[in-house]
A and B are shown apart, each in its own frame.
Chain A
Amino acid sequence: MFALKDLYQEVIVDHNRAPRNFGHLAAPTHRAEGFNPLCGDRLTIELAVDADGVIRELAFDGQGCAISVASASLMTEAVKGRTLAEAEPLFERFHTMLTTAVEVDLLNGDDSLGKLEALAGVRAYPSRVKCATLCWHALRSALHGETGATTE
């Protein structure tokens, strides 16, 4: 049986209670909204990308379940300081972790997802994968110059 504490790990509970990079940027260069029509959750992602394509600052705002808020909070920490070119493959690896049976142990070395691995438990709850990926869909929209994304 899959234990509930594998889903609601301490890191997730902590990031839900005190989300990092929560709010808005003074001068964002990119901005997009994410919407999950299944549960009505909405969030906004704002980025400040410099001339070298590095994500210098980012912030998110909105409301959602613990999984979606913690995921957004962890995402902002994971992509801050990375280039646009690095952010996309990170999402792909994160998505793979949530949707396949690959053990987290296999994702070590260069493929390590760091603190994002706290969300690996979502894999056992297919209906909650969209909660964890909403912020990433919004991030990708923002990076591609779009204004919104839905998880449908």
Chain B
Amino acid sequence: MSAPLLRQPVFNVESLRGQFPILATRVHGQPLVYLDNAATTQKPDRVIDALAHYYRHQNANVHRGVHHLSEVATSAYEAVREKVRRFLNARETREVIFTRGTTEAINLVAQSLSGHWLRPGDEVLISWMEHHSNIVPWQMACARTGAVLKVIPMTDAGEIDLDAARRLISERTRVLGIVHVSNALGTVNPVTELTRLAHDAGALVLVDGAQAVAHLPVDVQAIDCDFYVCSGHKQYGPTGVGALIGRASVLERMPPWQGGGDMIRAVRFEGTEYTDLPYRFEAGTPSIAEVIGWGAAIDWFEDLDHDALRTHEDAVLRYAEERASEVPGLRLVGTAARKVGVMSFVIDGVHPHDLGTIVDHHGVAIRTGHHCAMPVMERLGLPATARASFALYNTRQEVDTLITALLAAREVLA
């Protein structure tokens, strides 16, 4: 029983920050305050070292060679599949399909389901707060199949209208695509309840977990969704890697989406026999280094004390919202009861783009714009918002710097 002793007993944010070399950067002469974590998180030494180690000592193509390096690379690559399974609590390792990221995973599902699952008149249901990546692939699937896209409305606070969802889910609903955590607002959606409602109607359910995996414990079996998709780079891993977690019984009935090497059993000009899960959906050489780097990120992340981590993240977000109320003319956008990681806001008389430029001069990196969620902006009657998004290495002092910078922006423009 010595394993628990290996865990870090307290959440020491300063020691954690020391593991992220980029956080020592200075921007415009000021210490970097990186608050654009919903776009991508920074990477700890352990991930950067894993990438370098792979290229220095392990680089070879996977699943192909009998030579030593290919065996080493294949075993390191496949070990991550099991890490991802454990991290998200999927049933089987073969239910983990590596993709370039969340966007590619959704495109895989939408395109494959177009082949056998969607028919004219069927309905694909998504919500008003989806990222463009969970809208556009479904529009394309509808255009291919004659299915119809339906949208669950959201409230002024930025929450899913559950009564409307109950009305919209019917026997015509074949797919529900729903975001776990909104990238524009931070809302945590009741994905387990929505999955149950959609399943009762006979639909398949895809949950977009891009913003969730770094902030919430995710258990795909508890949610009971058919597809869960996420990206490594929003969870302290490299860009260019993500996963589709699919229910094996559903994936087995789905046609492949991309053809090529690694996804076949036998190729003849008369016809090709496809191989089994998960390789059937992984045509071509995958992002081997990035997968291995993501594995390092998961190991690193799982070693942290997650109760302390969540307490810290919640406290920083609450502190930010509290301090934001001191800025004259500032209005929070997205005030859901359950939020993680994101503070979206507007300030009277100061356009978000100007805010972004001015706070950058204080070293503060925030995102401004529509956050790839134009329908959310339209619903709220805003062209854009400013968004500060947090990771486990952010501190109250950084929030203070943000607030000082926002007050300075008001000084310049309002």
A4 touches B358 (CB 8 A): yes
Which of A39, A64, A67 sits near B368, CB closer than 8 Å? Answer: A39
B383 touches A41 (CB 8 A): yes
- Interface of chain B residues 305 through 339 with chain A (CB within 8 A): none
Nearest Cβ on chain A to B48's Cβ, whole angstroms: 27
B374 touches A65 (CB 8 A): no
Which of A16, A38, A64, A128 sits near B357, CB closer than 8 Å? Answer: A128
Is B354 interfacial (CB-CB < 8 Å)?
Answer: yes
A7 touches B383 (CB 8 A): no
A40 touches B361 (CB 8 A): no
Which residues in A have their C-beta under 8 angstroms from that of B354?
A: 8, 65-67
**How far apart are the CA atoms of A40 and B132 in the complex, in Å?**
14
A131 touches B353 (CB 8 A): yes
20 residue pairs A–B, Cβ–Cβ below 8 Å: A1-B28, A1-B29, A4-B357, A4-B361, A7-B357, A8-B358, A13-B413, A38-B369, A39-B352, A40-B369, A40-B383, A41-B353, A41-B383, A42-B383, A65-B351, A66-B354, A67-B353, A125-B357, A128-B357, A131-B353
Which residues in A have their C-beta under 8 angstroms from that of B28?
A: 1
Smallest CB-CB separation from A4: which chain B residue?
B361
Nearest Cβ on chain A to B384's Cβ, whole angstroms: 5
- Interface of chain A residues 64 through 113 with chain B (CB within 8 A): 64-68
A39 touches B353 (CB 8 A): yes
- Give the number of chain B interface residues (Cβ < 8 Å): 19
Nearest Cβ on chain B to A130's Cβ, whole angstroms: 10
Which of B357, B361, B377, B383 sits near A63, CB closer than 8 Å? Answer: B383
**How far apart are the CA atoms of A67 and B357 in the complex, in Å?**
11
Which residues in A have their C-beta under 8 angstroms from that of B361?
A: 4
Residue from A4, A67, A128 whose CB has the most chain B CB atoms within 10 Å: A4
**Total CB contacts across the A-B interface at under 8 A:** 52
Which residues in B have their C-beta under 8 angstroms from that of A1?
A: 28-29
Which residues in A have their C-beta under 8 angstroms from that of B374?
A: 40
A16 touches B413 (CB 8 A): yes
- Interface of chain A residues 34 through 56 with chain B (CB within 8 A): 38-42
Nearest Cβ on chain B to A116's Cβ, whole angstroms: 19
Chain A residues packing against B (C-beta within 8 Å): 1, 4, 7-8, 13, 16, 38-42, 63-68, 125, 128, 131
Which residues in A have their C-beta under 8 angstroms from that of B351?
A: 63-66
**How far apart are the CA atoms of A68 and B352 in the complex, in Å?**
12
Known: A66-B351, A67-B354, A125-B357. A40 touches B370 (CB 8 A): yes
Nearest Cβ on chain A to B333's Cβ, whole angstroms: 14
Which residues in A have their C-beta under 8 angstroms from that of B370?
A: 39-40
A39 touches B358 (CB 8 A): no
Known: A8-B412, A13-B412, A13-B413. A40 touches B358 (CB 8 A): no
Not counting A40-B377, A64-B353, a sample of 20 additional A-B residue pairs whose C-beta atoms are within 8 angstroms of each other reads A1-B29, A4-B412, A8-B413, A13-B412, A13-B413, A38-B369, A39-B353, A39-B369, A39-B370, A39-B383, A39-B384, A40-B370, A42-B383, A63-B351, A64-B383, A65-B351, A65-B354, A68-B353, A125-B357, A128-B353
